[in-house]
Structure 1
């Protein structure tokens, strides 16, 4: 099982097609918000189950604020993260994820990649494909793979030019 995690595309999904063509296929796609009206196009490009949540810039969206999804017995909680102060610290979102008894929390908002596993919970922010804010400002995305032994693996990848 191979899962793509993206966030903060802000209406520009040109780079998504490149990722799907060069690193796919994927069995599922998660988008952690700030989609800005590209929901249907993302679903078409992905051509697999696509899970999306609204972000702080998705004002007229009918997308949910968060989602709980189970994939291959792993429990995922997906949100944008802005309601949990992720720009300051991951502590509040970690606390909320722990209270929800999930294995993986996917979020965005900061435009900076983040990956941490502690106490049986993995927090992953894939960064942004279009407006990265981390040092070096390379567009990033996340890949989650569940192998044949049911082990889960996480990676943050930079978009190749």
Structure 2
């Protein structure tokens, strides 16, 4: 399984179109973790699984999405409803409640990934307004039965090698 994960584009539709053009036939799913600030009918988000962020006015976006992609359960949310700026505890309760293998979220604009209790929590950072790093980021997640390979990229599609992380499954 190969996934593209992006968040917090805040109206920057050209970057979403660029990502879609680059990865549409190379990934199994394209996921946007909210704060696109685009309408549901905007062509830039067509093909993305998308959730509603705190800056999204579009009520057609769900708050959370739980998807089974190949052999993995993926929980997607923006994060503001789980207080992710303070703690991952509330999000971890929801992940466990949904038997999630992966949790993708945004809101903090801070790129990072960690594994707790066998669940991988991934924040791709912000593709438009990053915090904690200067790079505007998105992530490619590659998963097989034994490992998850997480690679962060900047908006110019250069890998940020020091953020590359692998987890056993």
TM-score (norm 2): 0.81
Whether 1:87 and 2:88 are equivalent positions in the alignment is no
Do the aligned partners of 1:37 and 1:61 also contact (CA within 8 Å) in 2? no
Q: What is the Cα deviation at residue 22 of structure 1?
A: 5.2
Match of 2:148 in 1: 152
Match of 2:120 in 1: 122
Which residue, out of 21, 40, 43, partners 1:41? Answer: 43
Q: What is the Cα deviation at residue 150 of structure 1?
A: 6.2
RMSD between aligned residues: 2.1
Structure 2 regions of 5+ residues with no counterpart? 159-169
Which residue, out of 135, 138, 146, partners 1:141? Answer: 138
Distance 1:63 1:22, change over 3 A: closer
Q: What is the Cα deviation at residue 13 of structure 1?
A: 2.3
TM-score (norm 1): 0.84
- C-alpha distance in 1, partners of 2:57/2:19? 27
Select the structure with the greater relative contact order (CA < 8 A; seq sep ≥ 6): 1
Question: How many residues align structurally?
Answer: 155
Structure 1 regions of 5+ residues with no counterpart? none
